[in-house]
Structure 1
Amino acid sequence: MAPGPDPLLAEPADLAAFLGVPADDPKLLAALRAATRRFRGAVRHPVSLVTEDTVNLDGGGEDRLLLPAAPVVQIRSVLVDGEPLTGVRVKRQAGVLLHPAGCWPAWSEITVIYDHGYDPVPEEVAEAVIDQARALYTLRPGLASMTAGGEALGFGAQAAVGVTAQWTAAVDAYQLNRGDRT
């Protein structure tokens, strides 16, 4: 069972210490939620611990089955076309299941119930999320430029939040690198 609302990938109190505002400040929490969503989107999995997650996958006749999230903490059950399968091996960090008989049957429906993710969230992930949330918190959206007739106006408003080397390194370290990036 996945947790209720997705937990944040960093502590509000840690961000509050940087910003000098209370940890329950609505704008701080909104920035932290946005940074958490961005990180999860970049790495393509929840990162934090999820227990009893159920996924339905298709067998492809290959020896390995890629789970949509990692690291695998525990495999609770594996069903192939509704029948329990035992002896499944798992490459925990990669989130890969290996069939005990060699190959996952083609055209089969495979249901996996498993626990995955990190508890606690790795420090480098939390730090990257805090860094991004700090930038989001201080973002001052507004008009960047406007042209009307022959008049042009420009304001020095920041329009977007980029990423830091710390963010890029954390995403690279925790991304599952599955599928295409288009």
Structure 2
Amino acid sequence: MATEEFLADPAELATWLGRDEDDPKLLAALRAATRRFRGAVGHEVTLVPDDVVMLDGNGQESLLLPVWPTVAVSEVLLDGEALAEGTDFAWSDAGMLRRLGCGRWPDRLRCVQATYTHGWPVSPEDVQEAVIDQARTMFTVRPGIQTMQTGGQTITYGAQAAIGVTDQWARAVDRHKVRTSGDA
């Protein structure tokens, strides 16, 4: 089973649920939680090599690449012309593209194209925890049911299970979501 398919380890979820790590329902819940997280943040989270993005110039010294961490920037084009790293631009692992030399990026839409590698080689712990928590909920909670009674036993699921979003999930999504120029 491809581990990059999931943002968390099936064995860890299996431990929480007391199931085999190759249980189809367990894997379906983990796959769904992974897809949900990736959809919420707007990117893969894991390592993406040579992603090409078109950026709007902002008239400032720095531009923000949409996904961090930035591992490498292999090419930056300004209006189709290649810029030289160290002479025309510099970059940081936080995803900043700094203009060197003339000092500012033009204030024009879609004038900067960057090819960069971004993401994590292994899912960050906060992402793993949020995805495991979500997968546990998906595995155990029946959709639309908040309270269930069997014999003399009643189970009431918390509000986060009913609506599907925990504070832990919201913090992880906020930290890892695609960034816009307004986030800089």
**Under TM normalisation by the shorter chain, which class is it?**
0.7 to 0.9
Distance 1:123 1:26 in 2: 24
Given candidates 166, 169, 178, the residue that maps to 1:167 is 169
Distance 1:43 1:21, change over 3 A: same
Give unmatched runs, 5+ long, in structure 1: 145-155
Distance 1:110 1:9 in 2: 31
Query: Is 126-135 or 84-93 further displaced after alignment?
Result: 84-93
Three-state SS of the structure 2 residue aligned to 1:111 is: strand
Q: Report the residue type matching 1:36 in the other structure.
A: T
Q: Report the residue type matching 1:128 in the other structure.
A: A
Contact 1:128–1:167 (CA under 8 A) maintained in structure 2: yes
Give unmatched runs, 5+ long, in structure 2: 147-154
How far did 1:116 drift?
0.7
Which has the higher relative contact order, 1 or 2, with Cα contacts under 8 A spaced 6 or more apart? 2
Q: Report the residue type matching 1:89 in the other structure.
A: A
Richer in helix (by share)? 2
TM-score by length of 2: 0.74
1:99 aligns with 2:109: no
Trace 1:1-182 onto structure 2 (pairs within 5 A).
Answer: 7-86=5-84, 87=86, 88-93=89-94, 95-100=95-100, 101-107=102-108, 109-141=111-143, 160-175=162-177, 178=180
Percentage of pairs with the same residue: 51
Q: In the comparison of the two structures, how many residue pairs are matched?
A: 165
Contact 2:66–2:179 (CA under 8 A) maintained in structure 1: no
